[in-house]
Amino acid sequence: MKSLCYGLSAACLMMTIACSENPQPIYPKKVEPPPVSPPPFELGGRWYSDFGYMDLEQDGLEVEGTYSCCNGKIRGRWQGSQLEFTWEDEVYGSGWGYFYVRDRGRKLVGTWGEKDAFGSSGRWNAVRLEELAYDGIPKRFAVTAEHPVYGEIVGRATLYFDGDLIGGTWQGSASLEARGKPYRVELYRYLEGSAEGDEVVLTWNEPRTGDVGEIRLRRDGEVLRGDWDVYRSERDESGAIVFVPTDS
């Protein structure tokens, strides 16, 4: 009996040694990488922001583009529902920022700050510019307007005349200085109104701030001359405005 036990023990020992000399590989379970969440919104296109026009391109979670006030560049990445970005321009230098999307992708609400921890920071909001369809015959104008803060605003307008009804857009810019460097203030307005005889009355709407005002014009040959103002404004925002027909 003892010899049988000794025999079994020896056999077990030999098997243990054999297993230790030739261990069987243990394969780890294959782990699939977590799926990459798609971006919550597509931001590609033109936006009207606190720092002028933003032209953005989006590739997956990456977003980059430019903003017009001071020849700036912006680059960011979606982090959940927030777009975190860096920016760089000729006036403010460089810094950080973030956007949240509102109104089903039509508005951006955000904050910017300078790279220096003690630098400036503030609001950076934007609205997506939409190409509205208008009935009628389009006429293009070069527009010059006086502004009590920005001085002379130079730009263009396209008005669609459908009988007595008028719709269109007006956009312009004013050249200023910020921190001793050139800075451009952009203006964009949706217009709608009517003409009666030699008089043209247009209501304008600023899509980013929601400001509303009126433009009152009188025909002087082919030229439209008059003034503009803002409804319900605590500031004295008004001035002269001239629409001159142009082919471009």
| 76 vs 101: CA distance, rounded Å | 14
Residues 109 and 146 in one domain: no
Say what the pLDDT of residue 110 is: 96
Residues 144 and 214 in one domain: yes
First-last CA distance in the chain: 112
Per the structure, how many domains does the chain have? 2
| 222 vs 245: CA distance, rounded Å | 7
Residue ending a domain, among 95, 128, 161, is: 128
CATH label of the domain that carries residue 110: 2.40.128.30
Say what the pLDDT of residue 61 is: 94
Residue ending a domain, among 99, 128, 157, is: 128
Say what the pLDDT of residue 23 is: 57
Say what the pLDDT of residue 137 is: 92
Residue 97 lies in a domain: yes
Say what the pLDDT of residue 31 is: 56
| 210 vs 228: CA distance, rounded Å | 16
Q: Exposure string (b/e) for 96-120, b if CB count within 10 Å is 16 or more?
A: ebbbebeeeeebbebebbbeeeeee
Residues 202 and 120 in one domain: no
Model's pTM, two decimal places?
0.80
| 8 vs 233: CA distance, rounded Å | 102
CATH label of the domain that carries residue 230: 2.40.128.120
> Could you read off the pLDDT tens digit of each residue along the chain, which spans 248 residues?
444 344 434 444 444 444 445 555 554 555 555 555 677 889 999 999 999 999 999 999 999 999 999 999 999 999 988 999 999 999 999 999 999 999 988 999 999 999 876 778 899 999 999 888 899 999 999 999 999 989 999 999 999 999 999 999 999 999 999 889 999 999 999 999 999 999 999 999 999 988 999 999 999 999 999 999 998 766 668 999 999 999 86
| 188 vs 211: CA distance, rounded Å | 11
Q: Which domain holds residue 101?
A: 45-128
- Cβ atoms 74, 65 nearer than 8 A: yes
